[in-house]
């Protein structure tokens, strides 16, 4: 697999290729896209979900989270392999357009729709966090301030700036979540059992543990933001098979950080809430921490929640800006032909960034739904994408005509992709049924 780098399909000016690391120190200095993408994925919804899981099941089911992220590592690594190694020298979206010409306009529409939907609950969330911490001002005022700052961070597609901001917030998250878990204290023996004992606990709370496990894994394949990772690789200057090794290590580091951060919040739920207390809002866990650790503990945890939401806000704006702009240009360029314009510099990138950061402000006004309600709506809105993305990406990475003979999936990778596709279909069906039931009740 020492093939030369494939030719670049686009004729537009490109970011210079990055230096290929050869020493341990050079590898460390090269890391970045993996942290950017996992902190884009990690949001306040994860904080609520992990806290609820710990409250309902204690240390049980931790192995499911690790397993789900393991599958995500494989799945997204295969997407990255297509980006770096395919025989056409094209991006992942270009490959999906080869499967069917409607992928490009569909993903453009998804970027616009989900940019607003994702931004709605994240903007409300960051506004609520700032108001709760500082105890003055309105949610819309804090949301506006944070989004304006985010606008200046990503309106110009300067990747290095984004990477520095995300590394700073990774430090904040680590101190906040892991520090809070260590401060509260936990049982190392129970923690270890939760990671290695493959068991299903007794059904408690509102959700069957088996369904929770399936949902955690099934959501991996259908996330629209999986498609943002190739753009961060491109922005870093990683093109061609020679970057495959550093990409794998970089992404592994990011997933490992995500596992630690999620498990830290799970531990807090297990220690503070299990077995007879619950959390229902974003404010419940910080308030509970204040009774155990005092005001410093409350502020410390809120700092982590802010970092989780804010990296998602700016990561989604940048990632969906790249995706939407690329999809727009691909829609107006015949499949298989190189795109003449640079999607990063196209006006559509800036329009989508502005849309993602400005349009959600309407949801911060008084009388609008709260954070938790908006989060549930956002998660439901992407249901239809799950089978389409999981299935399409499986075909791209499995068939020689798309990725090439040297880099197509091995048999066990096809087994993993088939498993994730099946769960994506199952998850989409059950989520759709839940939405129908919700609408019938209301």
**What is the model's pTM?**
0.89
Q: What is the pLDDT of residue 7?
A: 43
Per-residue pLDDT of the chain (442 residues; tens, 9 = 90+): 444 444 444 444 467 778 899 898 999 899 999 999 999 998 877 787 788 788 888 888 888 888 888 888 999 999 999 999 999 999 999 999 999 999 999 999 999 988 998 888 889 889 989 999 998 999 999 999 999 999 999 999 889 999 999 999 999 999 999 999 999 888 899 999 989 887 776 665 555 666 666 655 555 555 789 999 999 999 999 999 999 999 999 999 999 999 999 999 999 988 888 777 776 666 777 877 777 788 888 899 999 999 999 999 999 999 999 999 999 999 999 998 999 889 999 999 999 999 999 999 988 887 776 655 666 566 555 666 778 888 999 999 999 999 999 999 999 999 999 988 887 787 777 666 665 665 566 5
Residue 18 lies in a domain: no
Alpha-carbon gap, residue 439 to 442, rounded angstroms: 5
Residue 217 lies in a domain: yes
Alpha-carbon gap, residue 256 to 37, rounded angstroms: 13
Alpha-carbon gap, residue 357 to 120, rounded angstroms: 9
Alpha-carbon gap, residue 407 to 84, rounded angstroms: 10
Residue 257 lies in a domain: yes
Q: What is the pLDDT of residue 437?
A: 60
Residue 254 lies in a domain: yes
Residue 265 lies in a domain: yes
CATH number of the domain bearing residue 284: 1.20.1740.10
Alpha-carbon gap, residue 131 to 49, rounded angstroms: 22
Residue 19 lies in a domain: no
Residue 14 lies in a domain: no
Number of domains present in the structure of the chain: 1
Per-residue pLDDT tens over the stretch 186-215? 889 999 998 988 777 666 555 566 666 665
| Domain with 110 in it | 24-441
Per-residue pLDDT tens over the stretch 275-295? 777 766 667 778 777 777 888
Is the C-alpha dihedral spanning 384, 251, 244, 237 positive or negative?
positive
Q: What is the pLDDT of residue 106?
A: 93
The per-residue DSSP string of 307-362 comes to HHHHHHHHHHHHHHHHHHHHHHHHHTS-TTSPP-S-TTTSHHHHHHHHHHHHGGGG
Distances (CA, A) of 239 to 98, 164, 244, 368, 403: 20, 21, 9, 44, 14
Residue 13 lies in a domain: no
């Amino acid at each position: 697999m020492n093939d030369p780098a494939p030719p670049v399909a686009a004729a537009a000016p490109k970011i210079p290729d990055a230096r290929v690391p050869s020493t341990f120190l050079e590898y460390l200095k090269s890391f970045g896209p993996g942290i950017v993408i996992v902190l884009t994925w990690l949001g306040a919804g994860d904080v609520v979900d992990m806290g609820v899981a710990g409250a309902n099941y204690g240390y049980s089911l931790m192995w499911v989270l690790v397993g789900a992220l393991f599958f995500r590592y494989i799945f997204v690594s295969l997407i990255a392999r297509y980006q770096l190694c395919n025989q056409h020298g094209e991006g992942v979206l270009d490959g999906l357009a080869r499967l069917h010409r409607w992928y490009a306009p569909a993903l453009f529409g998804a970027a616009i729709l989900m940019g607003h939907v994702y931004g709605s609950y994240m903007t409300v969330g960051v506004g609520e966090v700032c108001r709760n911490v500082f105890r003055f001002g309105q949610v819309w005022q804090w949301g506006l301030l944070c989004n304006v700052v985010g606008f200046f961070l990503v309106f110009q597609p300067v990747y290095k700036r984004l990477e520095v901001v995300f590394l700073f917030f990774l430090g904040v998250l680590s101190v906040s979540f892991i520090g809070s878990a260590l401060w509260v204290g936990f049982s190392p023996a129970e923690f270890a059992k939760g990671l290695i004992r493959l068991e299903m606990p007794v059904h408690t709370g509102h959700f069957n543990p088996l369904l929770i496990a399936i949902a955690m894994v099934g959501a991996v394949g259908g996330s629209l933001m999986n498609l943002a990772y190739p753009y961060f690789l491109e922005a870093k200057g990683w093109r061609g098979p020679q970057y495959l090794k550093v990409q794998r290590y970089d992404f592994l580091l990011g997933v490992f950080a995500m596992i630690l951060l999620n498990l830290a919040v799970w531990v807090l739920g297990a220690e503070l809430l299990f077995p007879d207390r619950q959390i229902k809002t974003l404010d419940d866990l910080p308030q509970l921490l204040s009774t155990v650790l005092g005001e410093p503990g409350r502020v410390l945890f809120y700092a982590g929640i802010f970092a989780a939401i804010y990296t998602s806000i700016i990561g989604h704006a940048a990632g969906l800006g790249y995706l939407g702009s690329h999809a727009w240009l691909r829609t107006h360029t015949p499949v298989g032909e190189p795109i003449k314009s640079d999607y990063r510099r196209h006006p559509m990138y800036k329009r989508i960034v502005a849309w993602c950061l400005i349009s959600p402000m309407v949801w911060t006004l008084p009388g609008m739904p709260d954070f938790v309600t908006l989060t549930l709506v956002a998660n439901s809105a992407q249901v239809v994408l799950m089978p389409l993305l999981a299935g399409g990406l499986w075909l791209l990475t499995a068939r020689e005509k798309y990725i090439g003979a040297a880099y197509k999936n091995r048999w066990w990778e096809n087994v993993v992709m088939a498993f994730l596709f099946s769960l994506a279909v199952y998850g989409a069906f059950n989520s759709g049924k839940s939405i129908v039931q919700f609408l019938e009740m209301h």
